């Protein structure tokens, strides 16, 4: 039972380490605009879903690394311009179809689940006082 209580505490605290990153991505999605970024570097192949592959994009003299998976490398080539969600001053860039709200909501739900586990374990452990 103590293990579940500790697990609940961890589930409550852990999302706070990720919420800033998720909120920054959400801000880019909400306030950013679509720009054409040039592909500067691609891996030879992006086959497989377990290994993250990074592409390098450029916009107005700045270079950005973006994680990609799947067949992106097969569909695109170096020098091609692709649509990217961009917000000036933000450290994240997003593909237009990339969701950002889901990360923020999942952090909140995970934290709420941690609270639920903590309280249920606390109630179970309370002795009956008469």
Whether the pLDDT of residue 130 is over 60: the answer is no
Number of domains composing the chain:
2
Give the three-class secondary structure for 62: strand
Cβ atoms of residues 52 and 73 within 8 Å: no
Cβ atoms of residues 57 and 39 within 8 Å: yes
Distances (CA, A) of 53 to 62, 67, 128: 20, 6, 56
Tell how far CA 108 is from the center of its chain. 13
What tens digit of pLDDT does each residue of 79-111 get?
999 999 999 988 899 999 888 888 888 888 888
82 and 37 co-located in one domain: yes
Residue 119 vs residue 32, higher pLDDT = 32
DSSP 94: B
What tens digit of pLDDT does each residue of 49-71 get?
677 889 999 999 999 999 887 77
Look up the domain containing 18 and give its range.
1-31+98-130
Q: Is residue 46 part of a domain?
A: yes
What's the CATH code of the domain at 59? 2.30.30
Distances (CA, A) of 13 to 1, 22, 24, 111, 124: 19, 15, 19, 7, 21
Q: What is the pLDDT confidence band of residue 44, given thresholds at 50, 70 and 90?
A: confident
> Over the chain, what is the mean pLDDT?
85
Structure confidence at residue 102 (pLDDT)? 87
Q: Is residue 93 part of a domain?
A: no
69 and 37 co-located in one domain: yes
> Half-sphere exposure (CA, 13 Å, Cβ side) for 66?
30
């Amino acid at each position: 039972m103590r293990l579940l209580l500790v697990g609940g505490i961890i589930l409550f605290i852990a999302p706070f380490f990720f919420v800033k990153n998720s909120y920054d991505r959400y801000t880019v999605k909400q306030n950013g605009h679509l720009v054409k970024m040039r592909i500067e570097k691609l891996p030879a192949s992006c086959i497989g879903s377990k290994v993250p592959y990074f592409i390098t994009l450029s916009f107005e003299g700045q270079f950005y690394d973006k994680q990609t998976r799947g067949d992106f490398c097969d569909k695109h080539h170096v020098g091609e311009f692709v649509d990217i969600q961009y917000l000036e001053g933000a450290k994240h860039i997003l593909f237009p179809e990339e969701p950002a709200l889901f990360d923020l909501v999942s952090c909140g739900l995970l934290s709420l689940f941690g609270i639920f586990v903590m309280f249920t374990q606390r109630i179970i452990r309370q002795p009956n006082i008469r």
